[in-house]
Structure 1
Amino acid sequence: MRLLLPAVLLASVLPAAPAQAAAVQTIGTGTPASCTSQAVVKAVAKGGTIRFACGPKPVTIKMTATAKVRNTSRDVVIDGGGKVTLSGMGKRRILYMNTCDRAQVWTTSHCQDQATPRLTIKNIGFADGNSIGRRAEGGGGGAVFVRGGRLSVSNATFTRNRCEASGPDLGGAAIRVLDQYKDLPVTVRKSRFTNGTCANGGALSSIGVSWVVVDSVFTGNRATGSGANPARSGKPGGGSGGALYMDGNYFTVKISGSTIRNNRANEGGGAIFFVSNDDTGTLHITKSKLADNPSLGFETSGFPGIFFKGKGKPQITR
């Protein structure tokens, strides 16, 4: 049994799900001023479904602290209702979940492969997140950092997020993911990633993690490092994956109905950098458009904007 708190142990013998799994929290009382960073941080730590009542117009909540998921939560659903943007103000990461971080309660010795928390982000924006200087777990994740549990994203926007400007293997100006339960994929649906900058992965980045990306748009993102990975002599490293940077051994990336346009990498893969170190990983792209994604260093012949090292070749359909 994972959880050590007596109340949780007691609840585990009951047929009903834990209370926080079903809890619904509402941030705000109907006005923009009532929707605060403090309320967001508190709600995310408590878990359950989080909704917003900030008035009839779109609102930006300026985050004065990073919202952190507690690992005792089963489900955390952040639903902005299509009207809320969380802003890191160019100063901080916006959202953090790490099942191996003891400060967020360490619930199992198998922290890298636990089923919960399940984090769902939907109908919300993340703008001006910044994880520069946050090098724990290798850094990255300017707006959102996730390790362990499960992550899904739908109908979300990520704008002007950033992380370290150089360095090998770190990345993900919008989202950085390490580990998912049973190696199940991160899902991203109907989302937009714009003008992110990071050493690698101007939008998404992961190590050993699979992805399913559907009906999404990536534009204006930049991989700003130089020297690739491992870094060439005299260079700080990075610069690959203008939009997407994926590394590891076996993993899969499936992209469908999406547009990846006007992204850029100083090194490899102006659109997508995909390296499966043991050549077992696969990349599938279906009914999508990739255009004007310059790779200033290198890319795979015949696949503009893509650097691929994996099983066979990238599988491209329509």
Structure 2
Amino acid sequence: MKSLVALLVLTLAGAGLPACGKSAPNGDTTPAPAAASAPAGGGEATGSRRTPAARSGFGGPSASASPRPSTKAAGTLRAGNPGGGAPVPAEARAVDTSKPTRTIGGGTAASCTSAAVVKAVAAGGVITFDCGPEPVTIKMTATAKVRNANGPRVVLDGGGKVTLSGQGQRRILYMNTCDGAQGWTTSHCQNQDHPQLTVQNLTFADGNSTGERTEGGGGGAVFVRGGRFKVVNSRFVRNRCERTGPDLGGAAIRVLSQYENRPVYVVGSTFDGGVCANGGALSSIGVSWVVLNSVLRDNRAVGAGANPARAGTPGGGSGGAIYCDGNEFTVRIAGTIIEGNKANEGGGAVFFVSNNRTGTMRIENSALRRNPSDGFETRGYPGIFFLGARNPTVTNSKLS
């Protein structure tokens, strides 16, 4: 966590803006077991390795959207858990892209290039693709970066037929309201309502943020800090980020400090085969999530030493699918399947640490199965390590 904070302070010092979180205390202690009705802490931790000490962070996101469905919707893309049955609130639904601001491509696969994607994302607005009748993979030769003054909405809709590939070499999509290179638009970059980034009906494949250290790194396919963000009907496959490190993560998505702590929505989407130090699919600090009707499968947290890192280790290894750290944040998982994920340390499915013990988690109408935690997890919650206000609320769900 210290390395992350140092980066944030360096990034924001010139503008006098607050950083995303505070540094972690030294040492690593095992929290005392807590009963289900205890006002602070999670259930009893099991496992032979020491569990992480409290740390702190800040954030929480969402994205505004028309309640109307996208006219580009399904295409050939099949994502998420169609039988999940969790109601989707209006602001979490796909954005209507029937009248796009700009279109990538001119009707052929050859016209849909990396350069065209980079240019369109930088320009902002509602973006669609016209790459011909067949599915197409666009090999990204550079990361597409959101310019903070161009929006306030940035919508990237693949129509169910477009894959953006990082070719195993680079991150695919980046938005950071506190990155001066992308333009500061307010004096409070860590808490502003724009840009509002939506990705929908898209596949993100083979992204890799290894070596990227801005804001601490992570986010193999997509990195977001600030504004608001959501994902609808999309797939994330074979994405990567750094394999070691105590607090970086998110092979598919890394999110920091979102507007007024509103939740990131992940709706009807699939995360498969991600590998990172922590959070083989999703990772955040101080950010709330609502994951609806989705599938997170075969993702891995491959670091070693947890957070803070044990002496002689590089750190990481927690949250096979989801890694959440910070203070005030919530996680809601509904209509979702989380299976076959693995953590070398804690939380084969979900790692959740609310350092000031205010955070809460709900699991509804979901199945979490075969998510081994090689180091530690919370007794009675297979695949989960949890420290928060009270034990996770589990309704009509199976954890095994």
TM-score, length basis structure 1: 0.93
State the distance in 2 between where 1:278 and 1:215 align.
Answer: 30
Pair 1:220-2:295 in alignment: no
Pair 1:261-2:339 in alignment: yes
Provide the residue aligned with 2:265 in structure 1.
187
Task: Please provide the CA RMSD for this pair.
Answer: 0.7
Whether the 8 Å CA contact 2:100–2:128 is kept in 1: the answer is no
Query: Which of the numbers 112, 128, 131 marks the counterpart of 1:51?
Result: 128
Give 1:217 deviation, angstroms: 0.1
State the distance in 2 between where 1:210 and 1:78 align.
Answer: 22
Once structures 1 and 2 are overlaid, which stretch shifts more, 102-111 or 262-271? 102-111
Give 1:224 deviation, angstroms: 0.4
Query: Which of the numbers 188, 192, 212 marks the counterpart of 1:110?
Result: 188
State the distance in 1 between where 2:268 and 2:185 align.
Answer: 33
Provide the residue aligned with 1:60 in structure 2.
137
SS in 2 for 1:112: coil
Provide the residue aligned with 1:31 in structure 2.
108
The one-character-per-residue Cα deviations of 1:228-249 (angstroms, maximum 9, x if unpaired) are 0000000000000000000000
Whether the 8 Å CA contact 2:190–2:225 is kept in 1: the answer is yes
Gaps of 5+ in 1: 1-21
State the distance in 2 between where 1:211 and 1:300 align.
Answer: 20
- List aligned pairs for 1:187-266, cutoff 5 A: 187-266=265-344
The one-character-per-residue Cα deviations of 1:234-281 (angstroms, maximum 9, x if unpaired) are 000000000000000010000000000000000000000000000000
Provide the residue aligned with 1:153 in structure 2.
231
Pair 1:314-2:381 in alignment: no
Give 1:136 deviation, angstroms: 1.1
State the distance in 1 between where 2:101 and 2:162 align.
Answer: 17
Q: Which amino acid aligns with 1:158?
A: F
Provide the residue aligned with 1:41 in structure 2.
118
Whether the 8 Å CA contact 2:301–2:343 is kept in 1: the answer is yes
Give 1:24 deviation, angstroms: 1.4
State the distance in 2 between where 1:238 and 1:82 align.
Answer: 34
Q: Which amino acid aligns with 2:380?
A: G
The one-character-per-residue Cα deviations of 1:86-128 (angstroms, maximum 9, x if unpaired) are 0000000000000000111111110000110000000000000
SS in 1 for 2:310: coil
Higher strand share: 1
State the distance in 1 between where 2:100 and 2:184 align.
Answer: 22
State the distance in 2 between where 1:167 and 1:200 align.
Answer: 8
State the distance in 2 between where 1:307 and 1:274 align.
Answer: 6
State the distance in 1 between where 2:134 and 2:293 align.
Answer: 26
Structure with the larger RCO, 1 or 2 (CA within 8 Å, 6+ apart): 2
The percent of aligned pairs where both chains have the same amino acid is 70
SS in 1 for 2:158: strand
Q: Which amino acid aligns with 1:133?
A: G
Provide the residue aligned with 2:370 in structure 1.
292
State the distance in 2 between where 1:117 and 1:109 align.
Answer: 15
State the distance in 1 between where 2:385 and 2:288 align.
Answer: 17
Q: Which amino acid aligns with 2:252?
A: A
Give 1:23 deviation, angstroms: 5.7
Q: Which amino acid aligns with 1:49?
A: V
Whether the 8 Å CA contact 2:112–2:138 is kept in 1: the answer is yes
Provide the residue aligned with 1:101 in structure 2.
179
Q: Which amino acid aligns with 1:305?
A: G
State the distance in 1 between where 2:386 and 2:299 align.
Answer: 19
Provide the residue aligned with 2:46 in structure 1.
none
